[in-house]
Amino acid sequence: MLQINYLRQHTAIVKDGLAKKNFPNLALVDELLSADEAIRKQKITTETQQASLNSASKEIGLLMAKGDKDAAEQKRAEVAGWKDDLAANKLALQKLEEDFTAMLLQLPNLPHSSVPNGKTPEDNEVVREGGTIPELMPAAKPHWELIKDYDLIDFETGAKIAGSGFPLYKGKGAKLQRSLIQYFLDYNTEAGYTEYMPPLMVNETTAYGTGQLPDKEGQMYHITADGFYLIPTAEVPVTNIYANEIVKDDALPVKMTAYTPCFRREAGSFGSDVRGLNRVHQFDKVEIIQLVHPAKSYEVLEEMVNHIERLLQFLELPYRILRLCGGDMSFTSALTYDFEVYSAAQKKWLEVSSVSNFENYQTNRMKIRYKESDGKTQLLHSLNGSSLALPRIVAALLENNQQEEFISLPKVLHSYFGATMLEG
RNA sequence: GGAGAGUUGUCCGAGUGGUUGAAGGAGCACGCCUGGAAAGUGUGUAUAUGGGAAACUGUAUCGAGGGUUCGAAUCCCUCACUCUCCGCCA
């Protein structure tokens, strides 16, 4: 969440930023500022009262120690009357603070200056493209047909076991998943990321920390009996590893990677883009996450973009990198690059990775800090990116590499998969 | 699931109602000592937030949240977590 000090000092910048993100309720900023004012006033009243109560209590203690019972008794009688008033003030303060926090949580992160103006995906800016779009044979098929032909995934049985959108990977289809996960993790750890295997369920506090709560409950599966949420991405448990910590200098930058299944309800999504692997409720993803010094976060963002770009090059997939416009960015992000690969049989671009700098929006919620050389504690910046989400990568690999009798695989996967191609 | 024991600062650890934000030790930082280092020795060393130009100072925090009290790390309640034993189990 945003920091109130920043709102106080840079009100105009905040409003401009919110406008760029198409935030509709700019008046909220002024409401917040006056609520903040009211809190501080109330605090002074309440704490002054508390201070006199505290010092009176101390006096009573001293009188008792001296054995002056009468004086202590007299003081106690005097002080007892203060309590109701103080309690009322405390309650009022608490209410003010709760309302304030609820409002502050409604404000999204501010966009970086390089974020393009715009409202819809059409306004995103193509930063660069790479790879070559293959010329497919006339009889080329979309991946959901190839999946059937080569018996890689059984969607029907997955639906029988759980529901639609829960793929049942099978045989070489399952092995391909495992090979990709293994390759991605190796690629990340070689670049200095530490591998984690986190819990796949998180509690409410953790979901709140990365910004899934409040507000996005509907997108996560909720285990109501125990109060857990199934993770929608490894970002949630892994970023929270450092929640409420002051990270030591020599631990920076923190570079973490994790493979996890991701669970998404995708409530309300419909239409043609849900076919095959394009949109599912459970999918595999390898994530990279960094916690870095604020001065370095944009440099690190570029480094992460390059890291993922190389991965797509190794996979020999045609890709493009987009800088998302203000209206298409996520609530918590300050700058996001999306990676899309071209799925040659569907003839469309599929999002396979999203790399974002959250600056201190997440770390402010989680209180992930470091100590400045002058001894002051400051918030770190958090970043993350998918490297990569599997389903659409698989879709593109299958479609783009299909031949009459087989589907070839990129060289990097040969040793992991134990073969150079998929055969029917 | 049942029974019991715990949770205190960076770490260890004392503390069962009154100057306790918290003894003592370790660690760390700075200084003294030393040719240099070690040892020794002195000082300092939590977080958040309000007020203040600053010096400084108020408030809160001893797993979390409530309660009793003039006053709670200490008493009561609820919850979470850790450990031990039993049960169940991959």
Q: Are residues A80 and A142 in the same domain?
A: no
> Please, which residues bridge with residue A289 across strands?
A256, A384
Region A118-131: mean pLDDT is: 95
- Tally the domains of chain A: 2
Beta strand segments in A54-153, E: 125-130
Average predicted confidence (pLDDT) for chain A: 93
ipTM of the complex: 0.87
Question: How distant is C1' of B3 from CA of A168, in Å?
Answer: 44
Taking the C1' atom of B59, which residue's CA lies nearest?
A47
| Range name among A141-150, A262-271, A333-342, A375-384 with the lowest pLDDT average | A262-271
Q: Of all residues in chain A, what percent carry a pLDDT higher than 70?
A: 99
Distance in angstroms (rounded) separating the CA atoms of residues A96 and A419: 64
Nearest alpha-carbon partner for A378 in A247, A250, A253, A252: A247
Report whether A288 contacts A79 (CB < 8 A): no
Residue A108 phi, psi dihedral angles, 5° rounding: -75, 170
| pLDDT score of A272 | 56
Q: Are residues A331 and A192 in the same domain?
A: yes
Nearest alpha-carbon partner for A407 in A340, A345, A314, A320: A345
Tell me whether residue A299 is in a domain: yes
| pLDDT score of A256 | 96
Edge-to-edge, what's the strand order for the sheet holding A201-202? A201-202, A228-230, A222-223
Q: What is the CATH number of the domain that holds A193?
A: 3.30.930.10
Where on strand B do bases come within 7 A of a protein Cβ? 18-19, 47-51, 58-60, 69-71
Question: Residue A357: pLDDT above 70?
Answer: yes
Distance separating the N- and C-terminal Cα atoms of chain A: 52
Give A202-240 pLDDT, tens digit per residue.
Answer: 998 899 888 888 878 888 999 888 889 999 999 999 999
Tell me whether residue A115 is in a domain: no
Question: How distant is C1' of B29 from CA of A247, in Å?
Answer: 18
Distance in angstroms (rounded) separating the CA atoms of residues A354 and A5: 30
Question: Residue A270: pLDDT above 90?
Answer: no
Report whether A416 contacts A399 (CB < 8 A): no
Nearest alpha-carbon partner for A197 in A146, A158, A231, A229: A231
Question: How distant is C1' of B42 from CA of A374, in Å?
Answer: 24
Q: Are residues A50 and A198 in the same domain?
A: no
Tell me whether residue A116 is in a domain: no
- Which of A75, A104, A133 finishes a domain? A104
Q: Which residues contact A41 (CB under 8 A, 6 or more apart)?
A: none
Tokens of A255: 């570079």
| Domain range for A86 | 4-104
- Which of A104, A129, A148 finishes a domain? A104
